[in-house]
Every structure is written in structure tokens, then in C-alpha cells.
Structure 1
Amino acid sequence: MPRLFTGIEIPPDAVAMLTGLRGGLPGARWIDPENYHITLRFIGDIDGRTAHSVAEALDRIRRPPFDLTLSGIGVFGGRKPHCVFAQVAPAPQLSALQAEQERMMQMLGLPPDPRKFAPHVTVARLKGVPASAVATYIEARGGFRCGPVRVERFVLFSSRSGSGGGPYVVEEAYPLEG
């Protein structure tokens, strides 16, 4: 049973800038640069037949390429931080692409994604790292900015169940055209 999600790959020049965020936060588990991505829709563990239907549905998406900007550093988890990420600046084209995928997945009978779409690139996972250390890290790197990043395709990724950070495999790629 594959564990699938859709996302946007990060190009090499942006990966190079994101790797500059590594370090300076003891106890952080840094994401391997080859696994940097922006998740559009987590699909989950599904059977092969449903996976085939998902791949076919995604192939019907027709949208033009667009640009994104990474701007700022954030953290998920509040007082118990569990993830440090690079923020993605608001982009209507990105939101529209994600919303279309969400509608398609629901039409295939998959449950709605319970989380509000918050585009980001995870750079580190945290466990037991004090919030004060995370605040100091973010204060020092909060001015991070990268872009524009050209988005010319989105992909269907697979991952191992419970791996939490890769490795991710591109199962299908879908060009943005027009």
C-alpha cells in the first residue's frame, strides 16, 4: 500500500539557500536537502487501484507555470515546537492548484484534508528542543528570503510509512503548461 502525497520540488538554487539554514539549533533533526518540497495534498496510505485513479486525476490538471517566494522562518508546535520551516509567501496560483487537487481527491472518495493549507518547506524536525532555543534560532534567521522560484511542474511523491522526512520518491510528474 503506497503512502502518497502531491508536492512541488525545490530547484537546486533554492535548495542551496535553504541548506544555509541548517545548524545552530542543538537537537534539531535536519531534513536532507534532496527531500525539500512543498506539500500540496497529503493522500495517505491507499491501495494500488486508488493510487492509479489519483495519478489519472492529477494528469487532467491544466494550469500555467508560476513563481513562488520563500520568505521568513516559522515553527509548528507553539510551546512544544516540532518543526522548523521556510515560509512560502502567499501566491494565488499555488492556492488554486492545491484547491483543485483537494477537490479531485474528495471526488475520488478520499476524506478531506483536515489541516488548513499552510505552504512551507520543512527544514528541521524537533523533539525536546526548548522553545527558547527555537525562538533564538528564528530571530537570527527570520529575514530569510529566496526567490522567485519558478514552478513548472508538480509531482506525486511516495514515502515509507512513518518515515517522517524521506526518502521521497517521485512516482509521477505533471507539467504546468499554458
Structure 2
Amino acid sequence: MTRRLFVALPLPEPIREALLDTMEGISGARWQDADNLHITLRFVGEVDRHTTADLETALETVPFAPFSIALSGVGHFEGHKRARAIWAGVTPNSALADLQHSVEMACRRAGLRAENRKFVPHVTLARLNSGSGHIGEWLHENGTLALGPWTADCFALFESDLTPQGPIYTQLTEFR
């Protein structure tokens, strides 16, 4: 049996609640649930139980000290000449970049292939499809988004269960 995994920073409830307040105004958007809001450090993908155990062991060795983090601005990712997701940006942060690099190295020690995509820290707010409405007005209205700072005091390994209603994320292990 395999599991679909990722490593992320969970968001505190007040930040999740503030983000939920922005989630309206785009027809056909699939807005994230509060429990699904996080900052992905590394998407792992489908792995077996042995790799899951190796990954947890490797992640336990990641040096981690709490750090201050904030969100600022919004944007979107493009795919096939249309927006495929909208997101809240993360204020540039060297501690977050260092953590992400350490998580990537732990993933490699656990036998995972190197991640080739550039790390773009963000919180996905909605997924879009060809039937979704225009995003320009929403991006304009929320462009000055600024939340935080708060103290990131842990990161976690999550499982992603894909369902017809959207993904369900379950935290497996927390690392402090």
C-alpha cells in the first residue's frame, strides 16, 4: 500500500480564519478548507510504508528552531494558458528557505529523487479549472493581503487522500 505524502508548515487558526475571509468572488473556484491551508515545503508523492518510515526518520534529523513568518500578497499559477490556482504569498524569509533546503536534503537521504522545481513559498487558496470565472478582480481586491507575523514552531509530514470532493489532508507526524 502506498501513501501520497508532503511536508508542510501548518498555519495557526487565526491566519487560516483570515484567509477564509478572502475566499469568495470567483465562480467555479474550488476553495480550500481551513484544515487544508499550509505552506508546502516538499511534495513527496506516492511512497510505500518503508519509504514513509525512512522519511520520518530523516525528517527527525532536520535542524529546526522556531522562526517568525508572515504572508503578503496574492497571485496565481498558470497552466495551459489559464490560471490553475490562486495563492497567498509568503514574505521572503531566510529561515524558511533554510528549513526547506534541510527538508529537501532529508528527503534525498530517505531515497527520494531531488525536487527540480524552484521553491515558491505560498498557501494555495483555490484550484481553478476551465469553468472558473475571471480572477483579475479578486487579485486586485486582495493584492495588499498582509497577515502575521506569527511564530512557526513546527513542521509536519502530511498524507493527501484524493477524493472526488477534493483532497483530504491528514497530519501524520509533527517535528518541533
Q: Which residue of 2 aligns with 1:76?
A: 77
Q: Which residue of 2 aligns with 1:117?
A: 119
- The aligned length equals 174
TM-score by length of 1: 0.92
The Cα shift of 1:165 comes to: 5.0
TM-score by length of 2: 0.93
The Cα shift of 1:62 comes to: 2.2
Check if 1:4 corresponds to 2:5: yes
The Cα shift of 1:104 comes to: 1.7
Q: Which residue of 2 aligns with 1:14?
A: 15
How do residues 2-151 of structure 1 correspond to structure 2 at under 5 angstroms? 2-77=3-78, 79-129=81-131, 133-151=134-152
The Cα shift of 1:162 comes to: 7.0
Supply the distance in 2 between the matched residues of 1:14 and 1:146 (Cα, whole angstroms): 7
Give every structure 1 segment of 4 or more consecutive aligned residues whose post-TM-superposition deviation is greater than 4 Å.
161-165
Name which of structure 1's ranges 162-171 and 91-100 shifts more when overlaid on structure 2.
Answer: 162-171
Q: Which residue of 1 aligns with 2:157?
A: 156
Q: Is the 8 A contact 1:81 1:129 kept in 2?
A: no
Letter in 2 for 1:74: G
Unaligned runs of 5+ in 2: none
The Cα shift of 1:129 comes to: 5.0
Name which of structure 1's ranges 163-172 and 47-56 shifts more when overlaid on structure 2.
Answer: 163-172
Higher strand share: 2
Unaligned runs of 5+ in 1: none
Supply the distance in 2 between the matched residues of 1:74 and 1:63 (Cα, whole angstroms): 29
Letter in 2 for 1:135: G
Aligned CA-pair RMSD: 1.7
Distance 1:95 1:164, change over 3 A: farther
The Cα shift of 1:71 comes to: 0.1
